[in-house]
């Protein structure tokens, strides 16, 4: 087999083995691999666009073989989805290979589940978990932290009036924060 990049040397490196995918394969020689390696790291990193590409053609080809059809645009095949929480779209996802927020993982689950299989050793998290403190926190908690930071800055700059205002704001937020919880309990 001839190297797909220089079309000169014997291809000895087959990238499909790296990403553990049967669909995507790039056959290149050692020289080109070294160049690629030093260049953009794509040889080592996972090219998400490529993975998504294959999946999207797979989803829509429906022949079950998983054979990727080259030169078909990605986006036209994937149903357009938008995350209700952050506004991220399928187009954003396939262009950037990134998600917009934590909720996107639920919204784009179908596209992701196939992609994740190609990227990782498994599909289930078995590592560490956040501590007990992780449960029950909400946006108000973050807002309070933000104000606490502000408070610190005011105190440091000796802006005591502003500091007092911020302190009051924190107190009222903390109170508001407690009330709904009580109501839930009362029900």
Partner 1 sequence: MQDNPIDKLFEKRVSWLADSGPEDDIAISSRIRLARNIQEIPFPSNASVDHLDSSIAAALVAVEKAKCFKKFYEIDMTKLNPLDKQVLLERRLISREFFARKQNTALVMTDDETCSIMINEEDHLRMQAMLSGLRLGEVWNIIDKIDDRLSAELPFAFDETLGYLTSCPTNVGTGIRASVMLHLPGLVLGEQINAVIQAVNKLGLAVRGIFGEGTESLGNLFQISNQSTLGEMETQIIDRLEAVIRQIINHEKNSRQKLLQNRREFLMNHIGRSYGLLRHSYIISGEDTLNSLSALRLGVDMGMFSTVDIHTVNELFVIVQPGHLQKYAGKELDTSERDIFRATVIRERLKSSEKK
**Which DSSP letter does residue 14 get?**
E
How many Cα atoms sit within 13 Å of 76 on the Cβ side? 4
Q: Does 182 bind partner 1 (CB under 8 A)?
A: no
Closest CA to 67 of 111, 23, 18: 23
Cβ closest to partner 1, residue 128 vs residue 187:
128
Q: Does 3 bind partner 1 (CB under 8 A)?
A: no
Positions in 19-38 near partner 1 (CB under 8 A): 20, 30, 33-35, 37-38
Sequence length of the chain is 187
The binder of Zn ion chosen from 15, 26, 32, 163 (CB under 5 A): 32
Cβ closest to partner 1, residue 124 vs residue 187:
124
Q: Does 12 bind partner 1 (CB under 8 A)?
A: yes
Cβ closest to partner 1, residue 91 vs residue 116:
116
User: How far is it, in rounded angstroms, from Cα 116 to Cα 127?
Assistant: 16
Helix H or strand E segment including 111: helix 109-119
User: How far is it, in rounded angstroms, from Cα 180 to Cα 119?
Assistant: 42
Residue 60 has which token pair? 């829509």
Q: Does 3 bind Zn ion (CB under 5 A)?
A: yes
Site mask, partner 1, residues 119-158, x = CB under 8 A? xxxxxxxxxxxxxxxx--xxx-xxx-xxxxxx--------
What distances in angstroms separate CA 156 from CA 51, 124, 151, one per listed residue?
A: 51, 46, 9
Judged by the rule CB under 8 A, the positions of this chain that interact with partner 1 are 12-13, 17-18, 20, 30, 33-35, 37-39, 41, 43-46, 48, 85-88, 92, 96-102, 105, 112, 115-116, 119-134, 137-139, 141-143, 145-150
């Amino acid at each position: 087999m001839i190297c797909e990049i220089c079309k000169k040397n014997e291809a000895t490196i087959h990238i499909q083995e790296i990403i553990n995918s049967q669909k995507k394969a790039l056959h290149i020689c050692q020289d080109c691999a070294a160049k690629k390696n030093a260049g953009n790291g794509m040889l080592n990193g996972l090219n998400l666009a490529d993975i998504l590409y294959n999946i999207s053609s797979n989803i829509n080809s429906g022949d079950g073989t998983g054979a990727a059809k080259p030169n078909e645009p990605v986006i036209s095949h994937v149903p357009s989805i938008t995350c209700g929480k952050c506004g991220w779209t399928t187009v954003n996802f396939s262009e950037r290979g990134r998600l917009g927020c934590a909720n996107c993982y639920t919204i784009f689950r179908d596209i992701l589940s196939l992609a994740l299989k190609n990227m990782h050793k498994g599909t289930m998290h078995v590592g560490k978990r956040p501590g007990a403190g992780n449960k029950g926190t909400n946006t108000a908690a973050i807002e309070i932290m933000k104000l606490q930071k502000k408070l610190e800055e005011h105190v440091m700059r000796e802006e005591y009036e502003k500091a007092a205002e911020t302190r009051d704001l924190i107190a009222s937020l903390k109170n508001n924060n407690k009330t709904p919880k009580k109501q839930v309990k009362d029900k």
